[in-house]
Amino acid sequence: MIHTVYKLCNLNFRTMHDPNIESSSCHNKTQPAVSTRPRSELAPVSEKMSSNDDGHFLYFAFGSNLLKRRLQYNNPSATFYLTGRLKDYKLKFGYWGNDVSSSWHGGAATIEYCPGAEIWGVIWTISNRDLLTLDKQEGVSKGMYSPLEVSVETEHGPKHCRTYQMNNFHAGLPSPQYKKVICLGAEENGLPTEYLNKLYSIETNGYSGYPMLTEKKRNQEFMWEKLKTP
């Protein structure tokens, strides 16, 4: 078994209510309706969205897919490209409709339109052959998330990327394990310290069991024991 030691997120940060993460200050603003866009405009990436001539597309991750090993579990072609920020959106956590039986034992990450806010994340290059597995992971066929094309600011200029936004969103706190995966990915890829501190401050639901990925792979090499809450 390969033992990998990760730098763990500080879960003892005092909870803050940051306008870029989980704030309700934008609820009365006009929000683009992602789920009402015609499906012909949403897919496939290889033809219309974020695609490169070499058979790859750009994907902007802001949640658990910040962590390389988590993303590559279902999408082995994923390769780090750049870090960047998505302006006028904030990070939120919750459930799709009434589906509270989350595999992560808590709310999952999504983005919400919020003028003046910003989200930092990682841009990955992914082979078009992994598009279906990425969509499946995000529950696109079930209507859980819709793909969205966004312009992400980077040190090399704006990049047009595919990302995902939850439909029929209902707010809910994430589990400590899910938060930890997000923080580990943010640390791994060198997101700004100020943004890391905002991630550390996210309130959780206090769930104390195993995270989803440990449950699925408990008897195989790919383990997430470091994510189990002490």
- Domain ranges (residues) in the chain: 34-227
Give me the phi and psi of 97, to 5 degrees please. Answer: 60, -130
Place of tokens 């499906």: 39
Determine how many CB atoms are found less than 10 A away from the CB of residue 128. Answer: 17
215 labelled catalytic: no
Q: Is 61 annotated as a binding residue?
A: yes
Residue 110's pLDDT is what? 98
Annotated catalytic residue within 22, 41, 47, 138: 138
Taking the model in full, what pTM does it have? 0.78
Q: Is 121 annotated as a binding residue?
A: no
**What is the percentage of the chain residues whose pLDDT exceeds 70?**
67
Mean pLDDT throughout 75-80? 98
34-227 CATH pick, 3.30.420.40, 3.40.190.10, 3.50.50.60, 3.10.490.10: 3.10.490.10
Q: Is 60 annotated as a binding residue?
A: yes
Report residue 136 as tokens.
Answer: 């499946």
pLDDT at 75 over 60: yes
Question: How many residues does the structure list for the chain?
Answer: 230
Residue 25's pLDDT is what? 58
Distance CA 216, CA 213 (A): 5
Q: Is 89 annotated as a binding residue?
A: no
Report residue 42 as tokens.
Answer: 């949403």
Amino acid making up residue 197: N
